[in-house]
Structure 1
Amino acid sequence: MSSGVTASPDQVSLGVLMAAVDRDVIDAAVAACGVGAKRSDGKLPPHVVVYLTMALCLFPDDDYEEVATKVTGSLSRFGCWNASWTVPTASGITQARKRVGRTVMAEVFDGVAGVVATSDTRGAWLRRWRLLAIDGFEVDLPDTPANATEFGYAGSGRHRSAYPKARVVALAECGTHAFLAAEVGPYAVGEQTLAQRLYPRLRGDELLTADRNFYSWAAWDTAAATGAALLWRAPTQLNLPVVAVLPDGTYLTVLINPKVRGAGRRRQILAAAEAGHDIHPDEAHLVRVVEYDVPDREGNGTGDLIVLLSSITDSTQARPDELAAAYHERWEEETADDQLTTHLRGPGKIFRSRLPDLVHQEIWAWLTVHYALSVLIARAAEAADLDPDRISYSRVLRLTRRTATGTAGFSPSRLD
């Protein structure tokens, strides 16, 4: 991201989290998961634990008690905190997190992670479609027996990773970098498996971009069934027969279900497509292919051939150059991943949580904090008529951390 533009200090605080994560959303998540507040919870009822867990993600370098001190230390002057209240111990915070469990933060994320890009958001659209990308990343976890059992390691033997790893696959808006949905699983569960659980969440006004490792017949079929537009890079081994060449130089092909057996039936499907007849979606999909070269930086002729598959078969709805440009917006999710792992979490850092339930809780809190900051950046960019890429994520994060002390708006004694 460019470091030339940022938000002003009065725009950012822990109040960013309060604004993005309404108390009603938390209460609904707590109720849905059956972990409602009890008198025995004392100073750490569930809604406080949720905000505190997000604060732990905002301050990954600080221990539990320091984070609790930072976000509650001066609340008494706002009249919303009992001056006699003492900061809970690390053990007390851990026990409170255990009471909340693994699912509440996932429910909270689902409750807040709505569409961020508007018609005024620069770089977020291809004509009528809001651009999304899907990608995956790994999370290093504390090397405890429980985490190792649930999440596993990368590699084996002498080549085994130093820490257990969780795998996350997420859908993100290209224009705002906001994660809209995610799936979390053990390292052994592949990206395609987790992605398959996300495709049904697509909408008809969205265009999903994906790299070639996400392609399979089942993946395309599931995603296409939602009505969303698709723009995926084709794997190199995919057979793409030419059905018709379009005036703009792109061509139509068919993706045939591997379950369709027999060369005769496959020839029938291809002939039907060539004749312009409908083909049954259980057997095949008609798609448009865009091919272009990306030259190498050194100019020695080792450039890359990009082959894109798109469900937008009508060439009047999107030109080839528009589709090529939209596909390269997919790299914006790489930026979102970097914001999470390099800036918000810190390079090379492992998570705090030594138990699987708390790992899940921490991952969802981490995604929620990133979402809140993405919303802030998107709104600031719109107000200044800028692309959100022009606003420095690292500066907004620094300002948020700097101004977080004493700005939380929740009380540990409220049980209603």
Structure 2
Amino acid sequence: MSVDVVGRPAVRPDQVTLGVLISRFGCWDAGWSVPTSSAVTQARKRLGRRVFAEVFARVCGPVAGEAGPTARMGALGTARGSFLRGWRLLAIDGFEVDLPDSEENAAGFGYAGSGGNRSAYPKARVVALAECGTHAFVAAEIDAYSVGEKTLAQRLYPRLRGDELLTADRGFYSWQAWDIAASSGAALLWRAPTQLDLPVVRVLPDGTHLTVLIRPTVRGARRERLLTAARAGADLTDIATVPDAFDKQGLPVVHLARVVEYAVPDRAGNGTGEVITLLSTVVNPGDARADELAAAYHERWEEETGNDQLKTHLGPGRVLRSRLPDLVHQEIWAYLIVHHAINALTAAASAAADLDPDRISFTKVLRLIRRTATGTADIPPSGLD
């Protein structure tokens, strides 16, 4: 290869001819070249942080088929852990992302710890809703490390749907969180904190029992009246018959919930003999048996697999690349979108082969996609249908 007087590779005549022919056929612009890294960064700055979040909201919906009474194993993505009766099983969890140690990221996201014990890198906090059966994230919130998981989770609860059942660890429980999530119309199945007072309202035939979750500010005689009304079988959602169940704004101060308690007999380690207490809005045993609810709760751990897929295998490794907060948001949303696309593809492939998506390796699918995508990586998007 020859070099011109300014040190750039000289263009051969056959390259010029090839470029003219490609342009003439309309499949390539010979004047286009791959943008430099700085040009891409400048374009990303102009784009801002909201576009990728909107793309995720528009395209990253449920993957595991349709919920409803007919949802069954073997339909698209309806693998083990996808549905309980007519509800789509979701889990909520959070994870942290290390960011480049720039002044802008430090100001926008902050560090874990403080003083001499602070983390080496700024951290972003992400809380997401994921399908248990497919690991696909269907909603997420991104913010500074100082913003707690409970705060981010409360932004997600209003997005729940009536055909979904949300599982959550005990760290997410508070009366306010339960109230917001329950008002969405979705079913809930959360582990109860150890010290939570759960008075027995009525023992059900399957050994579970009903309890009432009362707003912490409601105490004394009013609390006792609510307990008495619940034990008498009053409809706590009827303000006419139980006015104590509502505040001055007409909002409920009490929720009826079902308590499922069990232990895992073959569990080893520190959890041996531990009683697991679950709270659920599914108060009728005919809608879901106690053993079904217990099994559904343990599907919550599938989101941990999704977090690992995104951070360890799909992600760039230990630290993101973006040195500005807006670009950090873009990068995290981009990973969430790509992760969703991969799991949607896996769910479709597993349905075609009548397999559980868990039987298909995420890393192998990722390598296959990367091999097939590199051939078109430098094609400009303009002019393409």
Q: Do the structures match in fold with TM over 0.5?
A: yes
The change in CA–CA distance for 1:158 and 1:409 in structure 2 (over 3 A counts) is: closer
Contact 2:165 2:186 in 1 (8 A): yes
The change in CA–CA distance for 1:412 and 1:380 in structure 2 (over 3 A counts) is: closer
1:386 aligns with 2:333: no
User: 1:99: Cα distance to partner?
Assistant: 1.2
Of the three residues 88, 93, 109, the one matched with 2:40 is 93
The aligned residue for residue 105 of structure 1 is 52
Of the three residues 111, 119, 129, the one matched with 1:171 is 129
CA distance in structure 2 between the partners assigned to 1:218 and 1:89 by the alignment: 49
Equivalent residue of 2:363, what SS?
A: helix
CA distance in structure 1 between the partners assigned to 2:335 and 2:153 by the alignment: 19
The aligned residue for residue 233 of structure 1 is 191
User: 1:369: Cα distance to partner?
Assistant: 0.5
1:276 aligns with 2:233: yes
1:259 aligns with 2:206: no
Contact 1:146 1:355 in 2 (8 A): yes
CA distance in structure 2 between the partners assigned to 1:358 and 1:267 by the alignment: 53
User: 1:403: Cα distance to partner?
Assistant: 1.3
Mapping of residues 184-263 of structure 1, within 5 Å: 184-260=142-218, 262-263=219-220
User: 1:364: Cα distance to partner?
Assistant: 0.7
For 2:361, the aligned partner's letter is S
CA distance in structure 2 between the partners assigned to 1:374 and 1:334 by the alignment: 14
User: 1:80: Cα distance to partner?
Assistant: 3.5
CA distance in structure 1 between the partners assigned to 2:153 and 2:174 by the alignment: 11
Q: Deviations over 1:329-380 (max 9, x none)?
A: 0001001000001110154x21010001100111111100001101100111
The aligned residue for residue 327 of structure 2 is 358
The change in CA–CA distance for 1:199 and 1:80 in structure 2 (over 3 A counts) is: farther
CA distance in structure 2 between the partners assigned to 1:271 and 1:414 by the alignment: 70
The aligned residue for residue 111 of structure 2 is 153
Equivalent residue of 1:272, what SS?
A: helix
CA distance in structure 1 between the partners assigned to 2:189 and 2:123 by the alignment: 30
Q: Which runs of 5+ in 2 are unaligned?
A: 1-21, 66-70, 237-244, 247-251
CA distance in structure 1 between the partners assigned to 2:309 and 2:175 by the alignment: 32
Kindly indicate whether structure 1 or structure 2 has the higher relative contact order, using CA contacts under 8 Å at least 6 residues apart. Answer: 1
CA distance in structure 2 between the partners assigned to 1:248 and 1:410 by the alignment: 62
CA distance in structure 2 between the partners assigned to 1:182 and 1:402 by the alignment: 29
Contact 1:295 1:304 in 2 (8 A): no
Mapping of residues 307-346 of structure 1, within 5 Å: 307-346=277-316
Of the three residues 366, 374, 380, the one matched with 1:411 is 380
The change in CA–CA distance for 1:104 and 1:319 in structure 2 (over 3 A counts) is: same
User: 1:159: Cα distance to partner?
Assistant: 1.3
Equivalent residue of 1:143, what SS?
A: coil
240-249 vs 273-282, greater mean Cα deviation: 273-282
The aligned residue for residue 401 of structure 1 is 370
Please say which structure displays the higher CA radius of gyration: 2
1:134 aligns with 2:92: yes
CA distance in structure 2 between the partners assigned to 1:304 and 1:366 by the alignment: 37
User: 1:299: Cα distance to partner?
Assistant: 7.2
Contact 2:264 2:272 in 1 (8 A): no
The aligned residue for residue 25 of structure 1 is none
CA distance in structure 2 between the partners assigned to 1:100 and 1:227 by the alignment: 35
User: 1:408: Cα distance to partner?
Assistant: 5.4
Q: Deviations over 1:241-278 (max 9, x none)?
A: 00111111101000001121x31111110111111101
Contact 1:80 1:411 in 2 (8 A): no
Equivalent residue of 2:376, what SS?
A: coil
Instruction: Give RMSD over aligned pairs.
Output: 2.0
Q: Which runs of 5+ in 1 are unaligned?
A: 1-75
Count of residues paired in the alignment: 339
User: 1:317: Cα distance to partner?
Assistant: 0.7
Q: Deviations over 1:113-146 (max 9, x none)?
A: 1111114111200000000000000010000000
Q: Deviations over 1:7-58 (max 9, x none)?
A: xxxxxxxxxxxxxxxxxxxxxxxxxxxxxxxxxxxxxxxxxxxxxxxxxxxx
Contact 1:80 1:410 in 2 (8 A): no
CA distance in structure 1 between the partners assigned to 2:108 and 2:162 by the alignment: 36
The aligned residue for residue 305 of structure 1 is 275
CA distance in structure 2 between the partners assigned to 1:154 and 1:301 by the alignment: 28
